[in-house]
Structure formats: structure tokens, C-alpha cells
A and B are shown apart, each in its own frame.
Chain A
């Protein structure tokens, strides 16, 4: 009972916060900021996934920028390239009946046949899963931090491949990615008439991910993950399948990064090679650390805020340096993140105001 009421309060608080952001931006005549805010929310989805790998699993991944890019590029290619020849084949006709292949207009207004964004999303998930398993399986079976180097190498290669492949637009990236109708009426698109709706879509999707991950880390699996993080050998001795669990976590987090990439690409209408750069991966790492590693809420808030500021160009030519310094400072000064002490203090204040104060049962 108490928990449901607690959750209801949270839900109302979040909804209120979103409305406050949206209407205060409108009052200030700064509604254009919602675009960068939406992009920042999608980036935060990657950071949430990384939280799981770093904070709960104790592994470092420098490949999340690459997974984001794989998601984005897969859907971008499938929804913008011409598949007219495929459409004329017998399988093509069948795919068209299923609306996997759809007719649309290309950037020049010519009729073209490409894949449905949902098909792009599915393909992105499939490709990401295969790659994540291929890298994660050997690297996570071993004790130590091999995943970090393996994913760094992977990130460098994806960046090089993207830059060196004409079909992926090389240095220009891919533009003209069509909008994605999630459900009738819910359209992921960067058009200005969809701006407000997309802000809500991104925020709600991020919250859903946050809620799911929160439930995951508070379950039996989450406790097993924390045991792995603290003492892998001891966790193993307790009967936890450490390698399998680490691999599943890495896979889930890679899929999250790729979904964020797909959504981001449909939202901005394109994707460029810089998304796959190692710098992007380091940025996600820095934001995870700044949020407090094993702190999902902290990661969400810090990442959205800093990504937004970065997208608004606040850091100028020091954009990368800011995140590098942030990483070092956060880890060396406050490895638990800056928000946890504040949150503990706030909770103490709030609880004191409540009339029916009870001792809490276990960790809240």
C-alpha cells in the first residue's frame, strides 16, 4: 500500500516537473530549447544502460557510442535507401503486404520504396545483439577489465567503417530519415509541429526505461549484480553465474543504447559519424560517473542537464575536455556521485515533515 502511494507521489511529481519545464520554456519564449532537451533525453537513455554495466556490474564499456551509432545507422540505411528491386521480387510483394516495405517519397519528392521504421528498429536490435554477444562473450568470461579494451577497439573500428563507407554517407552521415509512427498519433519526428509531443515521448520513454531498470536492480538479479561488483569470486562461490549475468547485462545495455540511437535518428532526421566516435563513448562514461554509477536517478538528471548544455554549445571548444575533467574529478572526489548525499539529506527533511514516521524496512 505504502509503496503504491509512494509511486503515485513520484509519478505526479515527475509529470508536474515535465509540465513546468514545458510551460516555463513557453513563457520564456524559448520553446526551441525543447529540441535539444529531447536529444539530451535520448542520450540519457544510453547513460542509463551504461549505469547498469558500470554501477551494478563493475565493468567499463567504451563501445556505447558505437552501439548508439549502429542503431541509428541501421534504421537510417533501411528507411532511406531504395529497395525498389527487392520490392519487385516475390518476397518483396509479401513484405509490402505486411507493411515491412513501404512506399514513400525520397528527399527529392520521387516515389521510393524503403523499409518501415519498425523494421529498421527490429533490424537494429538484431544486429546490436549479435555484435554485443560477440564482444561480450569472450571479454566477460574472464576476470578483470578486458571488456573496456575490447569495446574501445570496437568503437574505433565502427567509427572508421562509418567514415570509410560511401553507403553510410562517409563524413556526411545520412539525412532525410523519415518519421517513425510509434502508435497512431505518436510520431517521432523533428518537425516543429511535433516538437512538444516529442519532448513528452522522449521523457516518458526515458522514465519507462528508468522504472524497468529500477525494478531490475532491486530484484534478485540486481542483488546478484551488486555481489559481482563487490567480490566476483565470492559471488561465484554463492552460486551466481557471474559470466552469464554480466553478459546479459551488457547485452541489455547495448540494446538500450541502440534503441536510443534509433529514436534519436528518427527524431533528428539523420545521423553523422561523430555519434560513433570514441569521444561520445567517453562522454557517456563521464555522465554515468557523474551521476554516481549505481544511481539511476542521478544518471538521468546529470546526463540530461549536461548533454543539454553541451548541445546548446555552452562549453565551446572545451566540449570534450569538460567531460574528461568531469570524469576524473567525479571519480576521485565523489565516486558515489554528487546527488546521493543531497538526496539523502532531502529525504531526511521530507520524512521529518511526515506525521506518521516509521523506521524504514531495509534499503528504500
Chain B
């Protein structure tokens, strides 16, 4: 394989992983815009999606299993909102963030006890481990095409939802000015609930499509959360669509970082991005510099 196609290979693998980070980052953004909370359990939704789908796939056909996993995890997301975040409205954002940290640990431990510490994976949606598609001298797994296709469809659908549907417009209103939204008759608690459900469901879908490539493991959540967060702040926190660009960039940087240091250290890339963004462009690549309001959550 020559130099150019090797680089292309890195790029493709970076984009595939990056699209998953993008979905996690979108999840961060949805919850952050609606509630002001950084949800540390975001990576856990991805893990749960994969785990539930692997279990369901033994009983029902694969598409049904994936659909079931997404629905179950989305419902779980709504339940978490109802159980913790709605009841604790008088708590500060600090408390709510700490609760999400606790939730992520508890979900992880529950997953460890329900499933076990073994690595699991869904079967390839089409083809298998060794089938590949040639693309300009690089090889792509058919599953990568599934990942990119699914994420692409999800992003377009979400964009349309937020832009054109009544519920989507209400969600955006909720994030830009809760008081005004409330005065306009928008039911803010329902919107917050919706944001949790949507973000959990999206995470679960990402967990299903990536499972054949990277496998699913009960401890996979925290690293995903970090990379998703890196993607989210790179795009600009509070901007779901910019998170897609952020996610793809984080994935690509990570893929090319194996040229510099061993693959075992690839988390360093995401951490480096976080530090650099915080140092030089805390509003993100696509954010506006002005408008640091005095609203404190």
C-alpha cells in the first residue's frame, strides 16, 4: 500500500470513529442546551445501546434488536430525567452534574453485573469481518458504510426536526431563553424530558452501529464521553450541528495520531484537543466570541 492510500485509510477510519463521537457530542449538546447540565453518563448510553442490542439479537432479527435497543435506552433516558433531574430542580447545576457522574458509575456497575466484563459485539449488518469495499486504493469495511450512512441520516433528520417541526422549534426556544419559552406556552419540563430521551436514543443507535467494529464493553463509556465532549467544545457547546464537524475532526486527529505515538495512547489526542480549545477558543470553532451572558445555571 502506497503512502497516499495509507493516509486515505487513516482518514476513513478517523471519519468512521469521528462520526460516533459526533453523535455523542450531539447528545451532550441536546441535554446541555435544555438543562445546562454536562451529562457525564452520555457514553453510558452508547454502551447500553450496544449491550441491549447484543442481548436482543439472540431472540429477534437484527433490525428489530437495534430498534428495540434504541427505544429501551431512550425510555431509560426519559426515566432518568423524571427520576432525578425533574425532582431535583431546586438543586444547583453543580449537584446535577455530580449526579450524572454517579449515574454513569452506577449504570456501568449494573451493566457489569447484568452482562459481564467480556467484550461483546453485534454481527456485521452486511458482510463480515473480512469483507471490504475498495475505495481509491483504501479498504473500507461495509460496516463503516453503515456507520457513516446511519449517522448521516440521523444528523439530517435531527437538523430537520430542530429546524422545522413544532417540537424542535420549542426545544430550540427552550435552550435560547427558557423564561420567554415558558411565557409562549412551551412546556419546559416536557422539552427537557424529550432532550434526555432523544440524546439517549441517539447514543444507543451509535452504540449499535459501531458495535461490530469496536465491540461493546462495560467500560467503554468514559473514553467516549471525553471524546464526545472534545468534539462538542470544538464545535462550540450548545450547537448540535457544529458538533458533527467537531466529531469528525476529533476522530481524524485521533486516527492520524497513531503516526506519532502508540495506538494505546490515542486518548491523548482528545485530551490535547480539549486543552487547546479551552486555551485558545473556548467558544468553539464555530461559536461566536461575544455574548458571554451573566445567566448562571
Contacts and interface: CB of A to CB of B under 8 A. Distances in A.
Interface of A: 54, 58-60, 62, 134-135, 137-139, 141-143, 145-146, 148-150, 152-154, 156-157, 160-161, 164, 231-233, 278-279, 282, 285-286, 289, 317-318, 320-321, 323-328, 331-332, 335
Contacts of A146: 233, 278, 282
A156 B222 contact: yes
Given A145-B94, A233-B294, A332-B88, A327 B279 contact: no
Interface string B94-137: 11011101111110111001000000000000000000000000
Nearest to B223: A156
A106 B263 CA distance: 34
Contacts of B279: 137-138
Given A150-B274, A157-B268, A60 B296 contact: no
19 contacts: A58-B94, A138-B278, A143-B292, A148-B40, A149-B38, A150-B271, A150-B278, A153-B229, A156-B223, A164-B262, A232-B296, A278-B222, A285-B98, A289-B98, A324-B102, A324-B108, A327-B101, A332-B99, A335-B91
B101 A60 contact: yes
Contact of A323 (B98, B105, B230, B233): B105
Contacts of A142: 278, 282
B114 to A, nearest CB: 12
Interface of B: 38, 40, 84, 87-88, 91-95, 97-99, 101-106, 108-110, 113, 222-223, 225-226, 229-230, 233, 262, 264-265, 267-268, 270-271, 274-275, 278-279, 282, 292, 294, 296
B97 A160 contact: no
Given A138-B278, A321-B105, A332-B84, A157 B271 contact: yes
Contacts of A318: 109
Contacts, number: 129
A152 B226 contact: yes
B296 A153 contact: no
Contacts of B91: 331-332, 335
A62 B226 CA distance: 12
Contacts of A153: 226, 229-230, 267, 270-271, 274
B102 A154 contact: no
Given A148-B38, A320-B109, A325-B106, A60 B98 contact: yes
A160 B226 contact: no
Contact of A282 (B105, B226, B229, B233): B105
